[in-house]
Amino acid sequence: MIKISPKAPLDKTTDAQLNQILILAFNQRRKKISNSLKESFTVDEIKKLGIDPKSRPENLTVDEFLRLSQEVLINDNLCFWRSTRVL
Q: What is the CATH number of the domain that holds 47?
A: 1.10.8.100
- For the entire predicted model, the pTM comes to 0.74
DSSP assignment letter at 86 = -
Q: Which has more confidence, 6 or 84?
A: 6
Rg over CA atoms, the chain: 14
Query: Of 29, 33, 35, 36, nearest to 49 (Cα)?
Result: 33
Q: Is 59 buried (19+), middle (13-18) or exposed (0-12) by CB count in 10 A? A: exposed
Confirm whether 34 is domain-assigned. yes
* Close Cβ partners of 66 (under 8 Å, ≥ 6 residues apart): 10, 14, 18
Highest mean pLDDT among 4-8, 23-27, 72-76 belongs to 23-27
Q: Is 50 among the domain residues?
A: yes
In a domain, 38, yes or no: yes
Is the pLDDT assigned to residue 50 strictly greater than 90?
A: yes
Which domain, by its residues, includes 23?
12-83
CA–CA separation, 76 and 44 (whole Å): 17
